[in-house]
Amino acid sequence: AARAEVCSGTGERFRIFRAEKTYAVKAGRWYFEFEAVTAGDMRVGWSRPGCQPDQELGSDERAFAFDGFKAQRWHQGNEHYGRSWQAGDVVGCMVDMTEHTMMFTLNGEILLDDSGSELAFKDFDAGDGFIPVCSLGVAQVGRMNFGKDVSTLKYFTICGLQEGYEPFAVNTNRDITMWLSKRLPQFLQVPSNHEHIEVTRIDGTIDSSPCLKVTQKSFGSQNSSTDIMFYRLSMPIECAEVFSKTVAGGLPGAGLFGPKNDLEDYDADSDFEVLMKTAHGHLVPDRVDKDKEATKPEFNNHKDYAQEKPSRLKQRFLLRRTKPDYSTSHSARLTEDVLADDRDDYDYLMQTSTYYYSVRIFPGQEP
């Protein structure tokens, strides 16, 4: 069952609830129930997948609905049909895709039109199929039951089962996905020559970031009521032209900042052990030829020199011996250049300010 309600104070006259369009039925006979928890302005019925959320249900060609508050049927207009409901009444909604007919029941009794016909709608085009839909007025509450658990349907065995109808959710393993309409504030671009609003850019400094200053000029008398204005800075987001699934369950670019592999390779003839290599897995060729004439520093001198380097550089090497051997014939100077960690490179630093957004696209929905 699906519960729906609309509260006052939102500025909406009604709210539409519909099933996910991938559940649209194109063949067979289908049934679902709608319980009017309150007895106010509500409509229920069937609609095509392209039902517009800003249109009154049944005011266009996409929806076929019953209004139990005014006892009317709605499809491109309205006319008298059936009788009004009371709080707690249950409406049964039936569609026959073979005969192209729709009927409604109220507490198990079939509703009739002014001519005495049981058919609320007939001779419609199947098109892309139909899905359950309802609209609720302000402060109204309704409950839709698609019959996933057939025993929860109150009047299906009285009218529906014997006629060959099936519960709408009889073959589903989970609850039907529902979509609803909701009115949200609309933001408009503020022109540079606006009469009451002025937007000024403030350049950044060493201690502060650049920002925008929004100034609104008051108008009217001081005693007049003023509405609250909301402003939003629109930040552009670039999306890929083609949406693809995440590889191996990770985020794009996640491998750029992962922990480095521990390397155990070292130079057996060197006085130092290399703890880390570059992301490319190798060191650049040495430049010993350029320094043949250079004076080779003593081991202690090299140790002092290393201490003056930043801590990041010092962490790249460890002494192989705890005590220096002054009689060694090996040079204490490194014979290979060690590249900086890739995470310090400009390109990698730029990546840290790049954000990746994931978008979930439901089946049958356009991105």
Task: List, for residues 44-99, the tens digit of each pLDDT value.
Answer: 999 999 888 888 999 999 999 999 999 999 999 999 999 999 999 999 999 999 99
Q: Which residue has the higher pLDDT, 263 or 17?
A: 17
Q: State the pLDDT at residue 40.
A: 93
Inter-residue contact 94 to 103 (CB < 8 Å): yes
Chain centroid offset of residue 322 CA: 58
Using a CB cutoff of 8 Å and minimum separation of 24, what contacts does 235-241 make? 237/357, 239/357, 239/359
Q: State the pLDDT at residue 350.
A: 57
Q: Strand 29-36 vs strand 166-167: parallel, antiparallel, or unpaired?
A: parallel
Does the reported pTM lie above 0.85?
Answer: no
- Domain architecture of the chain: domains with CATH: 2-180 (2.60.120.920), 238-367 (no CATH)
Q: How many CB atoms lie within 10 A of CB 273?
A: 16
Altogether, the residues listed in the chain come to a count of: 367
- Residue 284: pLDDT band (50, 70, 90) is very low
- Residue 211: pLDDT band (50, 70, 90) is confident
3 state DSSP class of 161: coil
Of these ranges, 208-212, 216-220, 333-337, the one predicted with the greatest mean pLDDT is 208-212
**Cα distance from N-terminal residue to C-terminal residue, the chain:** 28
pLDDT of 140 > 90? The answer is yes
Which phi and psi angles does 3 have, rounded to 5°? -100, 140
> How large a percentage of the chain has pLDDT more than 70?
59
**pLDDT tens profile 293-344:** 444 444 444 444 444 444 444 444 444 455 545 544 444 554 555 555 555 5
Helices (H) and strands (E) in the chain, counts: 3, 19
